[in-house]
A and B are shown apart, each in its own frame.
Chain A
């Protein structure tokens, strides 16, 4: 091929990529940069002149107890989500693959996945009934089991609100991770398991020695998705408690929304948005860096 033809070939590659690149640059990267610029001002929809405050909004964030409460809630969300959705999802997928008959397996998979398809508004309503202090199922079951002292106004008390929401979220999302891990699991050649069983490995040992290492890519992806999802959570909290009571269940997303559209502090909200970006970006990069070069192949 001539030099010119090679050049054209290389350039045409860029041509194919350019539209998508432009879209991402305009709709993702430009807003991130612009958002950071806006966070250096104090302004709202009604201000005639935005006031430059440099890093004043960030200083305000550091001193804001609700901000730290929100970060704590997001971290709690992330930790529980990873343990339950990825950890328990993996175990659930393995159990279904290894120990359950085919017909029952398909049925159970559907049962676990259905909550994922239900809209958050419906789920929110459903769980508000479940968590109702007088008529809710949760408290009624506790009373029947003989533990009335464990009953709470689950969404109404500052100590329990965020955990009640996290619980609802796990119920809704574990099926999603489980199905994705099932797909990845089905790609593992059966020969590995058969060889292991012949050698006397138990099912549990096979799980830890074969399944987990070979699924590392998928579990890493699931962890990144779950953790960034935990830092980006908004709908669940907004629908269930709107960040209350007394800001106890605020997460970064809802605190951002309230600062922007209720408290009329858009610069402050932009600062929160920048923090969310740094946290999720950092978490993603950290995980990818942590598993580089550790891919397992038999």
Chain B
């Protein structure tokens, strides 16, 4: 009798406890909704993938997501981050598994166009063309994310390739910033004769040489021809300007660049510049922070450097005013069930306050105009944003704008040319052969 009673009591107390939990649970979630009085009607769950998991950048992204969630209590964000190197494989694995996130990071150019062709990139033109949001972003940056007249991505940061130079070395040797390519070569000869490495160069990863060609090709080849050749279905690469550009790079290599560079990592080239062993280095504005005291550079260098873009080629048939660089950005999965939330989050990330914090924390230029000030950026970075905003257009890295097979022909060909085992004519032959294959199999 006692046992049954105690069992019954236990059963009821268990049910009572469960009921309490259920009530508390519903009350608390309802309470959460009621207490946040922002009136936000957005609700749903999205996956947000960015590529800054490093400990110095992760807190910035966590804070942005937290701030957004505070404003939109009915939204859930699954925030993920993958580093730069493994990103290319991880995103392909996710795509193949049908698990592409709602918002995912992308590089502009053919990398982004692959997603567009596969129907995995949402058309953002209605949100960004001739809208206040779209107009707040650098025009060249939005242009890089446009394909077939439609905008498919939101640029988050801008980047440009320029020659960093040691102002002390230049001053000590009576050198001025070269105004033409020939003047650059003469400057290199002077430096070499003084026992200083003219331009530090490390091509182990292959893209360092490609970036030179990204800048040189447009100086020798007319813009319209370039645009036609970049399209996989119409690329031919028959313009003689391509060979002329390669010949120019060969000259630069002979007079200016570190020899044996295929075996040298770009970080070693950076170190050579910082240690005063080399006078110049062709680098990206996203690398600028490395060369500051905050980034770890020695004081002897951190206060003594400036930059200039690739000088023009006097008789070049192309546009001499283009700047090499590309904006990083985010794309939205066309198959996402909450494109509205995704767009809203990206708008939040690119609003003025967060863009300035982006520049301050990551040391990178935001795509939002006018966000690099002395409050959040060092002098060289402020100058860089001015230079980028005044560029008539940007040359996107050759290895990301071209179809991968043609890019490989360039990558491998340039490595061979630096070793002296291929000539510019042979490289263009390989490029044309790759382009023909790509035209046949789009």
Contacts and interface: CB of A to CB of B under 8 A. Distances in A.
A129 B264 CA distance: 9
B186 interface: no
Q: Name which of B89, B262, B268, B405 has the most chain A CB atoms within 10 A of its CB.
A: B262
Contact of B264 (A132, A242, A246): A132
Contacts of B203: 156, 245
Interface stretch (A40-48, A79-87, A140-148, A184-192): A40-48
Contacts of B264: 128, 132-133, 153, 156
B205 A263 contact: no
B404 A45 contact: no
Contacts of B262: 153, 155-157, 244-245
Contact of A133 (B95, B115, B260): B260
A260 B421 CA distance: 28
Interface in B407-421: 408, 412-413, 415-416, 418-419, 421
B408 A263 contact: yes
A44 B92 contact: yes
Given A46-B95, A132-B268, A241-B204, A246 B263 contact: no
B7 interface: no
Contacts of A128: 204, 263-265, 268
Given A46-B118, A128-B268, A261-B88, A156 B419 contact: yes
A245 B415 contact: yes
Interface string A3-45: 0000000000000000000000000000000000000000011
B23 interface: no
Contacts of A246: 412-413, 415-416, 419, 421-422
A156 B203 CA distance: 9
B117 interface: yes
Nearest to B261: A156
B206 interface: yes
A134 B258 contact: yes
Contacts of A244: 204, 206, 262, 412, 415
Contacts of B120: 46
A156 B263 contact: yes
Contacts of B91: 45
Give the size category of A's interface with B. Answer: 20 to 34
B259 interface: yes
B9 interface: no
Contacts of A157: 260, 262-263, 419
A209 B120 CA distance: 68
A131 B265 CA distance: 11
Contact of B419 (A45, A245, A261): A245
Given A45-B95, A48-B118, A133 B263 contact: yes
B438 to A, nearest CB: 12
A34 B115 CA distance: 26
Interface string A110-138: 00000000000000000011011110000
A153 B205 CA distance: 15
B24 interface: no
Interface string A169-190: 0000000000000000000000
Interface in B222-269: 258-265, 268
Contact of B114 (A46, A132, A257): A46
A298 B430 CA distance: 63
A266 B119 CA distance: 19
A264 interface: yes
B93 interface: yes
B221 to A, nearest CB: 24
Contacts of B440: none
A266 B421 contact: no
Nearest to A266: B96
A131 B95 contact: no
Interface string B75-96: 0000000000000110111011
A46 B115 contact: yes
Q: Name which of B260, B412, B418, B419 has the most chain A CB atoms within 10 A of its CB.
A: B260
Nearest to B405: A263
Q: Name which of A129, A134, A241, A245 has the most chain B CB atoms within 10 A of its CB.
A: A245
A259 to B, nearest CB: 10
Nearest to A48: B118
Contacts of B413: 246
Contacts of B404: 262-264
A242 B405 contact: no
Contacts of A129: 268
Contacts of B93: 45
Contacts of A247: 412
A252 interface: no
A230 interface: no
Contacts of B96: 44-45, 266
Interface string A148-162: 000011111110010
Nearest to A152: B260
Contacts of B408: 263
Contacts of A242: 204-206
A262 B88 contact: yes
Nearest to B404: A263
Interface in B255-285: 258-265, 268
A166 to B, nearest CB: 15
Interface in A232-282: 241-242, 244-247, 257, 260-264, 266
28 contacts: A44-B92, A44-B96, A45-B91, A45-B93, A45-B96, A46-B117, A48-B119, A128-B265, A131-B263, A132-B264, A132-B268, A133-B259, A152-B260, A153-B259, A155-B204, A156-B263, A158-B419, A241-B204, A242-B205, A245-B415, A261-B89, A261-B92, A262-B404, A263-B404, A263-B405, A264-B92, A264-B114, A264-B404
Given A242-B205, A245-B416, 12 more contacts: A44-B96, A45-B92, A45-B96, A131-B263, A153-B259, A153-B260, A156-B260, A244-B206, A245-B419, A246-B415, A261-B92, A262-B404
Leading 4 A-B pairs by shortest Cβ distance = A153-B260, A156-B263, A155-B263, A156-B262
